[in-house]
Amino acid sequence: MRTEAVRKIVYDIMTTTFTAPCGTEYRARYNGWVFSWMRSKRILGQVRTNSTWKVIRISKAHAQHSEIEHIVDTIRHEVAHAMAIDLYGCYDHGITWKQCAVACGANPERYACDVDMGVSKYTLTCPNCGDEVKKHRRPKRNQACSNCCDKLNGGKYTEAFKFKITQNY
Ligand SMILES: [Zn+2]
Ligand SMILES: [Zn+2]
CATH number at residue 74: 3.30.2010.10
Query: Is the same domain home to 113 and 126?
Result: no
Distance 129 CA to ligand 1 centre (A): 36
Query: Is the same domain home to 112 and 126?
Result: no
Q: Structure pTM? A: 0.67
CB neighbour class for 159 (10 Å; exposed up to 12, middle 13-18, buried from 19): exposed
Please provide the DSSP assignment of 58-95 as one string.
EEHHHHHHS-HHHHHHHHHHHHHHHHHHHHH---SSSH
Query: How many structural domains does the chain have?
Result: 2
Torsion of the alpha carbons at 124, 126, 129 and 130, rounded to the nearest 10: 40
Q: What is the pLDDT along the chain (169 residues), one digit of tens a residue?
A: 799 999 999 999 999 999 999 999 999 999 999 999 998 777 789 899 887 889 999 999 889 888 898 899 999 999 999 999 999 999 888 899 999 999 999 999 876 655 554 556 788 888 998 877 777 788 888 899 888 998 899 989 999 999 999 887 7
User: Cβ(95)–Cβ(109) under 8 Å?
Assistant: no
Query: Is the same domain home to 96 and 130?
Result: no
Distance 10 CA to ligand 1 centre (A): 16
The span from the CA of 116 to the CA of 114, in Å, is 6
Distance 124 CA to ligand 1 centre (A): 26
Query: Is the same domain home to 110 and 136?
Result: no
Query: Is the same domain home to 12 and 87?
Result: yes
Query: Is the same domain home to 73 and 154?
Result: no
The span from the CA of 45 to the CA of 39, in Å, is 10
Q: What is the domain extent for residue 146?
A: 122-167
Query: Is the same domain home to 126 and 104?
Result: no
Distance 93 CA to ligand 1 centre (A): 6
Query: Is the same domain home to 13 and 39?
Result: yes
Q: Which parts of the chain fold into alpha helices (H)?
A: 2-15, 60-65, 68-88, 95-103, 146-152
Query: Is the same domain home to 101 and 59?
Result: yes
Query: Is the same domain home to 76 and 149?
Result: no
**Hey, is 166 helix, strand or coil?**
strand
